[in-house]
Each structure stands twice: as structure tokens, then as C-alpha cells.
A and B are shown apart, each in its own frame.
Chain A
């Protein structure tokens, strides 16, 4: 008899998900990470901490978010039923707040008074600035100079929330460089500073901690689907950049062997063009930002610049748990192009009255493809990880419309 693996048993004590994850950092970070791991291990089993987190998620974030049957979209597509986990309805408009609320609580319990974060599109920066303001913590957000130019509204939102936004001018001046600089700040100021990483990447314990804080998405969705539809979905899908909303949705379903799991990566102009951000579909195992995972790098091992219409998916690595799930064959990862995501964005807007984030539009596009493959009584669950208000300027500019 074949042993069915327990996918909830990862990571191990070294932060490894099979061959992936781990702690690939400079010596100076080993002790701060060990302290964080010890604090997190203690807190995640502490009933008082769990109660505090649950209260914040309910009254501040607005959880639970609903699972919504997209009936007109389903009719339009003409395949299986498409249902959406509405993370776009959370406070600040995306799943990112689940993680920042959790990490800010950890920071407070560790006695830290200063929060730092890296951000690409600005969503994680806004979510970090939000929780820092609420807790009265100082907040510094590192953001690539190129991204600052592309995402002016989010930069202003962070400043309105009292955060300092520091432009990063090294490297490609985007998310990966912001992460490098945030890591340097942390190692220098670790005595009073907590680093809130925004995705399931980085060194252990971040991939586990960020996953745990987002796993409520899948726990709720699983229960809600059973309650509303009397069964589990046939397939679940989410967009994958760093992979935090995806692992958040997937985790509760990992041991449901009848549920197919599909991650939608940003294929940009198409994987064949080289202008994409599909680390799992087109990358190779390597080491980046403190963990072993699939990365996009050239023949010399230099990390390459990625491309996606969606800044939040524009990352050359991916969370190590996704790398593990890919190799284990438990999840599939496929590419969705910029054009396909935009088409899905418009379709969802017109059929359901929902403006999805460009990131989430990749998941919608994938859900549409999957629904077409299944009979009408099939059930496809997609994570609508964020709302699209932040993207209207990008979409307008791409379509030649001046606002």
C-alpha cells in the first residue's frame, strides 16, 4: 500500500520543505532568526496569542471573507461552477493584511518598536504601514525607485499612514532589491526592529510563519465550500508570485487528495519570450533571499529581471513550499500571460461587478480555463486575493486611455 504523505508536516525543524527552504543567510542573521523562530514557536501555541490574533482578524480585518458563487461568469464561460474566495473584501483590500496583522503581534510580543518591510507594488507596504499605525510602531518601507515611480498612489498611502518610504536605487530597483536593503537594515538594527516579510519566501521561519498567518484563507474556504455546496471543490487555483495568497488557499486542501491544485504564475509576454516571472514553470532550483527554491537566473547564476503587468507577481523566486509541492507532484504551476489576465479582469468586471487586482486576475483567468475542462456540476475555487482599484491607472495606460 502506498503511503500518502502528510503535507501538513512541513517544514521540518530546519525550515526545510523537502529539498527546499532552509536558512541561507549571512552569519550575522543566524541569531536574530533563531530568536524569531523561538518566539514564533512559543506564540503560535499560546492560546492568548491565538485569541488576540483571532480578534484582530475578525474585528479589524473583517474576517471571515465570503466564498462567492460567480454565477454570471460561470454562465458566460459555460463550464463548471466558478466560486471566488473574496480576500479583496479584507481591510486594505487584499490578503496581505492577514500576514501583517500576525507579524505585528509577534513584533509587539518580542518588544520591538520599529517595523521594516519591503514592497513591490506597494500592497505589502501599505498593509505593514497600516498595522504599524494601529499599534503605534515606527514603520520604514523599502521600495525600489522604479516601483516608487510606477506606484505613486500606494507610496502616498503609506506616507498618509505615517510610514517612511525609502527608495532603493541598487540593482534593478525593484522588489528583490528592496528585500536586499530591508535585510541589511534588519541586521544593523535588529535590537529594536522587526522585519515583516511580505511573502512566503526568505529564510526560515518566514515561509512557515507567513503561510500560517495566511492559511486562514484556505481553512475558511474549505469549510464554506462544504457548507454552501455540500462538497469540496474539484480544483482550486491562485496566482503565484512569492506565493503567499496561493499557499494560504492551498494549505488546508493539501491532504485532500481529490482536490486538484493549480498555481497561476505570471507568464508576462509569454514564457517563450523570456519576458515573464514564471519561476516554477521556467526556472531551476537555486538559492535566493535566504532559501533554496526555484529561481530565474542566467547561465552565470545572476538573478534575472522579471516581467509581469502585475507588479505583485514580478519576482524571480518563489516560496520554497511551492517548489516542494511542484516536485512532489501535489500542485501544478502554469503560466498565465498579461493579455489573458487582462481579459479575465474585464470579464469579471462586466459579469460580476468586481474589479480584481491584476495579480488575482491571473487566478481568474486560470479558473476560467479549468472550468472549461470540467462538466457543469464541477466546482472551481479561485482565490480573489485582492481588489483592483490600485491597478486602474496601469490598465488605463496599457489601453491608451488618459485619466
Chain B
């Protein structure tokens, strides 16, 4: 069983809601990445999404874009990210790591060599934000190597595609929207709950929800109907400007501890 599948199976057995944390690799500092990853685990993260910096993160908001820019300015590339995962794996062989990012860096690395190197480093899944199911033939070498391709679903996803996504889901299915989204995609917590219940009933993989989760209260509200909650921008924002690895891990812990407690309290 893959690390992701084992982790979700264990969560299910324990009746717990998973906590998935996102950080941008190399921000606030390349030296802090590995200790910070361990810090996230200590603070209660069940799965880690490690953002691969990209110059044009079209689907991310300003917080993550700026974190990417800071990391790129320090020369962070995909090879560094894989090296950090390998270093993390020296002492943690259980916490699943998903690399999240955009296709072009992987394209330039080469899909086949990336599949090989990512697997060797100890990566468990990949979430390519700009690669919907329809274009994911390019990721076949990664899937063939045993990496889970994490797919996204959103409030705007039409019924027909949702069925395809549920069928193709591997690792977990990430139900996502942007915080503060307005217009047709604006859903209340109750509507999200209803939507997610429908997806969980059909999805081959557990369903994680990232929907403006910023604190213990929102995590608890979302956690009530999801297999896991994802915390991204709010954490990245909190980490920005940390002066040392201890500072970064401390900030992560201060921020995540109440969220972990809230998820476990229900």
C-alpha cells in the first residue's frame, strides 16, 4: 500500500480527520525546508503538500505567488525540491509527500527522469495544477512509476466531469476553490457539505477539502464532512519572514496546533 493510502486508512480506522499542510519549497528559506517539514509532522500534519515554485502560478493567489517568487529568487528548482524530500525521508518514512506545482518545470526536467528521481527521493504523489484530467496523458510515466496523480474538483465542475474525476481519483481527490470567490461558485458551508458528501459517495479515493480553511473554526466546520482538510495560503502567510528553522517550525506549530486539536475534538 502506498504511503498516502496507508495514511488515509489509518485515519479512517482511528476515526480522525486528516490534516494536509501546504508549504512552498524554499520559502521562507531553502535551509529551513527539511526541519520545517519535520516541524509540520510534529504539529500534526498527516500529509504534506510541497509546492514547487513556478514563475507564473496562474491558479494561485498572491500569498503563494509571492512565496514562489522569493524561492525562485534564491535559485530553488525542482532538483532542490527532490533533494529536500530525500533528506526528509532519511528520518521519516511514513508521512506522505505530494509535490504540487505547474507542468513547465516538470516538462523541462523531463517526465521520465522526473518519475524516476521523484520515486527515488520518496515522493508519493504529484498535483499538477495546470494539468486537468483531459491533458494528463503526459503524466503517464509518473503514474506508471507508482506516483499518485492527485486530481482536483471544484464547485464549478460539471456533473459529467465529476463522475470521471471520481473514477480516476488516486491518492485523494482535492475539492478546492479560492477563498473569497464570488459569483456562481459562491457556496455556503452547507452547500459544500452537500457537494462533498456526493463526491465522497462516488470517489474511489478519500476527499480532501481546501476552501478558505484559515483557522480552527473553519477547519472544524469543513472537517466535519471531509476525509481531510487542506491548509495552504494561511500557513504560507504565517511562515513568511521566519528568521530561522526553529522560528519557522515554531510558527507552524503555533498555527497548526489549535487546528489539529479542533479536528480531533469532533
Listed in ascending order, the chain A residues whose CB lies under 8 Å from chain B are 14, 22-32, 34, 170-171, 176-177, 179-180, 183-184, 187-192, 284-290, 295, 297, 299-303
B78 and A300 contact, CB distance less than 8 A: yes
CA distance A23 to B133 in the complex (A): 10
Complex Cα distance, B155 from A27, in Å, reads 9
CA distance A170 to B132 in the complex (A): 25
The distance in angstroms between the C-alpha atoms of A139 and B55, with both chains bound, is: 27
User: Given the complex of chains A and B, what is the CA–CA distance between A286 and B105 in angstroms?
Assistant: 9
- Within the complex, the shortest CB–CB distance from B229 to chain A, in Å, comes to 18
Contact of B62 among A26, A170, A189, A300 (CB under 8 A): A170
**Docked complex Cα distance between A322 and B108 (Å):** 20
Whether A24 lies near B54 (C-beta < 8 A) is no
A-B contact pairs, 11 of them (CB 8 A): A22-B135, A25-B59, A27-B132, A180-B65, A183-B58, A190-B183, A289-B58, A300-B79, A300-B105, A302-B53, A302-B54
The reply to whether A301 and B105 contact each other, CB–CB distance below 8 Å, is: yes
Assuming the contacts A27-B176, A288-B56, A297-B108, asked whether A190 and B152 have C-beta atoms less than 8 A apart, the reply is no
Give the docked Cα–Cα distance between A170 and B61 (Å): 11
Contact B54 A27 (CB under 8 A): no
In this assembly, does B156 line the interface, its C-beta being within 8 Å of a C-beta of chain A? yes
Residue with the greatest number of chain A CB neighbours at <10 A, chosen from B55, B132, B154, B182: B55
- The bracket for how many chain B residues form the interface is 35 or more
A85 to chain B, nearest CB (A): 33
Which listed residue (B59, B108, B180, B181) contacts A301, Cβ 8 A? B108
Q: Name B's A-contacting residues (CB within 8 A).
A: 53-59, 61-62, 65-66, 69, 72, 76-79, 102-109, 129-132, 134-135, 151-158, 161, 176-178, 180-185
- A171 and B135 contacting across the interface, CB-CB below 8 Å: no
Known interface pairs A24-B130, A30-B161, A300-B77. Does A189 touch B58 (Cβ–Cβ under 8 Å)?
no
With A28-B59, A287-B107 known, 9 other A-B pairs at CB within 8 A are: A27-B156, A28-B156, A31-B161, A171-B55, A187-B181, A189-B182, A191-B182, A284-B108, A287-B102
Contact present for B161 and A286 (CB under 8 Å): no
A-B residue pairs, 8 tightest by C-beta: A301-B105, A300-B77, A191-B183, A26-B59, A301-B108, A27-B152, A191-B184, A287-B103
Partner of B103, one of A24, A31, A183, A300: A24
* With contact pairs A27-B157, A297-B108 given, residues A303 and B130 touching in the complex (Cβ less than 8 Å): no
**Considering the chains assembled together, what is the distance between the CA atoms of A171 and B78 in angstroms?**
19
Chain B: minimal CB distance from A278 (Å): 18
Contact B57 A24 (CB under 8 A): no
A30, B157: Cβ atoms under 8 Å?
Answer: yes
CB-CB under 8 A from A27, the residues of chain B are: 132, 151-154, 156-157, 176
Select one of A14, A187, A295, A302 contacting B72, CB under 8 A: A302
Q: In this complex, what residue of B is CB-closest to A28?
A: B154
Report Cα–Cα, A179/B185, bound state, in Å.
Answer: 21
